Chains A and B, each alone.
Chain A
Amino acid sequence: MELSLQHICKSFGKKEVLKDISFTVKAGQAMGYLGRNGAGKTTTLRILSDIFRADSGRVLLGGAPIDRDKVRLGYLPEERGLYPKSKVGEQMMYIGRLRGMDAQSAKKGAMALLEELEAAEYWPRKLETLSKGNQQKIQLAIAVLHDPDIVILDEPFSGLDPVNASMLKRLIVKQVERGKIVLFSSHQMPYVEEFCEHICIINQGEIVLDGKIREIKKTYPRNKVAVWPEGDAAAFLRALEGQSAWPNVAAAASVTNDTIVITMKMERDKQALMQMLANMTLGVDRVQVVEPTLEDIFVEKAGTSV
């Protein structure tokens, strides 16, 4: 089963927000949908959630036009919001029932999710008495309460402390493991990198990068090597620069936190550099090829830092 967006266009007035957007997400995978603020991420997710209709293009599920009356869809909007004066349990059951659950299964499912998120004690409490992070946990629980086939999460990690973020991560990973189609947008690249096989970067309404992270990274030159020497990194680098082969191999080098990062002139100079390191009298703890981070890729494709 896969979810495909094909040639989606959407304008608001004269502003063209989405220009021929196409991508595919497979079941049992999480796709990170990345882009700068205002790039069109939320509009895409809203079209997927049927909040907006696309001006043109199609949304397919398993190759056929998606039938939203039959497909269970879980959505965590970017703009979080529930009833502040209502009790957590009541509103979880309310949303569950709106999504077709009976009262008993809604209650059982909601309690199970709250327990998983270590938030069961909040069941009888009014939402407004909870911290922002805990309110967000309730929101995420509501998004997956009805066991959706497709999970769409808009900035799920924003505003969460590391403990809650880790809890949330486990919940999302569980959805992926259960074969759900998971699509989420985030500005927190480490989370995306951690459990997304697939990313899609949108910039000014156009998809500028789409593919598996590992394959995307392979397309980048592997001409950076990180070296962790046993002793003083600065002294180690000076000794390395003293070797006669250095000017032929290295284009640049820097020391950061006891780590030396060497940029080679050519990717194939890796063997020569290894030989130079072997010739050193000073010891080396670890050597590793430095891959571009997702943030590096994002900055390159979206044009600015997040």
Chain B
Amino acid sequence: MKQILTVLRFEFMTFARSGAFIGITIFMVLLALIGPAIPRAIQLINGLNIAAERRIAVVDTANRFDTETISGYVAPAVTLFGDIREAREAVVSGDYHYALHLHGDNFTLYITAMGISVMNMEAGIASMLRDRYRFEAYSALGIDADTQLAIAGFFPASEIMNLSPAGDITEDTAGGFVTNMIFSYVLSFVLYFGLLAGGSYIVTTVVREKSTKTMELLITSCKAGHLMNGKVLGVSAAILTQLALMVSSAALSMALFGGVEGDGFLGMLNLTFDPYIMGMLVVFFFLGFLIYAYIYAALSSTVSRMEDASSIQTLPMMLVMGGFFMAIFGMTNPGALWVNVVSHIPFFAPFVMFMRICLGTAAVWEVAISVSAQILTIFAVAWLGARIYRMGTLMYGNKPRIRDLCSILLAPFS
């Protein structure tokens, strides 16, 4: 145990002090701080647009609108002009941002300069004209103003009822389904890159220890199994520290900037910190990382040249990518049977079961089974990995074939 802790500490410190680790950590923390603040920033920018003193020159040929009414739909600073030419000159001189020429019921000419967008203005004016048209039409039919308001104010109510696999009503985990999908997508990426980056680091360190001939000294100083366990746990601890920093930053950012109400895309981005999902992220990340880290460590011990290091990563990389893409495709139908089955396979569970948790389609007992299966798998790959590592550390020369690895696994432990 003491040896494992010594290796763990050494590997943790070596990894955590590397330039790549520090750089990626800073980048990820910044991303975690900025990401949840994006909806607030969008809202702020939109607000600034509305609040900006956009001066508007309006020419209303039919004299149907006053400045107060127009201001209610577009912007406060509205001035009525009697002639379109004057209004146009006001825009050209820069005194006004826009000029509007309202023709009859349903046509508006927008005059703008210097590339100022009229997009928001268009929507406001269109609403104003539509409302006026409806009011006049309903009045002509003899419908009084109160009835018109009641008709216009009608909005069908809706509610989403989420059912667990057992049929119980569950709470919507973080917001809407789409929001959860985005959340799951983002966190799957975090998991994906974390696994690949950590795995790649393990491969690099093991192969370097072999190529620089440090391995022979190490395995005469420490049991091969302890060496591998310490290395895997040390790198895992460093990656988890990185993840913890990210999660804390995201939580802080969500607390400060989250909870933005809005429609459409802004509403979908309305991420709120859900301790259950974040806790599950850490659990599934850690378990998934350990499974793959042991595979990476065992396989990398069988090659001794850096140029062979990438080829030995193919198998775990394929598994990681498989899990990632299954989670992405599974998001479109998280209740499908194949998603359910795959989410219990330990190699894919970190992605697929985690996706189901994010989308609220995984029952607690399913999560428990998945976690148990992953823990058992970790012990199995650690045991098998130690056998390969013990023999692999002394293998030099050409990279091994599958049958070489099988013979190591089947050979008596000597």
Contacts and interface: CB of A to CB of B under 8 A. Distances in A.
Contact of B220 (A75, A83, A97, A100): A75
A94 B213 CA distance: 16
Given A86-B14, A94-B6, A94-B10, A73 B220 contact: yes
A95 B221 contact: yes
Given A86-B14, A98-B222, A51 B394 contact: yes
Contacts of A86: 14
Contact of A53 (B10, B218, B222, B414): B414
A144 to B, nearest CB: 13
Contact of B212 (A53, A75, A82, A99): A82
Contacts of A142: 217
B355 interface: no
Contacts of B6: 94, 97-98
A81 B220 contact: no
Interface string A74-91: 010101111110100000
B213 A77 contact: yes
Interface string B199-212: 00000000001001
Contacts of A177: none
A242 B7 CA distance: 77
B interface secondary structure, majority: helix
A interface secondary structure, majority: loop
Contacts of B221: 95, 98-99
Q: Which of A73, A80, A98 has most B Cβ within 10 Å?
A: A98
A49 interface: yes
Interface string A45-87: 0000111110000000000000000000101010111111010
A196 B14 CA distance: 41
B215 interface: yes
Interface string B145-184: 0000000000000000000000000000000000000000
A98 B14 CA distance: 16
A50 B7 CA distance: 20
Interface in A145-200: none
B216 A77 contact: yes
Given A86-B14, A94-B10, A97-B6, A81 B222 contact: no
Interface in B220-240: 220-222
Nearest to A86: B14
Contacts of B10: 94
A81 B14 contact: no
B314 interface: no
B4 to A, nearest CB: 10
Contacts of B220: 49-51, 73, 75, 77
Nearest to A84: B212
Given A51-B394, A53-B414, A73-B220, A98 B7 contact: yes
Nearest to B396: A79
B218 A79 contact: no
B217 A95 contact: yes
Contacts of A81: 209, 212-217
B312 to A, nearest CB: 20
Contact of B213 (A52, A79, A97, A98): A79
B354 to A, nearest CB: 35
A99 B6 CA distance: 10
A82 B216 contact: no
Contacts of A97: 6
Nearest to A99: B221
B203 to A, nearest CB: 16
A80 B213 contact: yes
Interface string B280-319: 0000000000000000000000000000000000000000
Contact of A98 (B3, B209, B215, B414): B3
B219 interface: yes
Contacts of B2: 100
A79 B394 CA distance: 12
Q: Please list the 4 inter-chain residue pairs (A to B) with the smallest Cβ-Cβ separation, ordered nearest first.
A: A81-B213, A79-B213, A53-B414, A77-B216
Interface of A: 49-53, 73, 75, 77, 79-84, 86, 94-95, 97-100, 139, 142
22 contacts: A51-B219, A51-B220, A53-B414, A75-B217, A75-B220, A77-B213, A77-B216, A77-B217, A80-B213, A81-B214, A82-B214, A83-B14, A83-B209, A94-B10, A98-B3, A98-B6, A98-B7, A98-B218, A98-B222, A99-B221, A100-B2, A142-B217
Given A94-B10, A98-B218, 15 more contacts: A51-B216, A52-B394, A75-B217, A77-B213, A80-B213, A81-B212, A81-B213, A81-B214, A81-B217, A82-B212, A83-B14, A83-B209, A95-B218, A98-B222, A100-B2
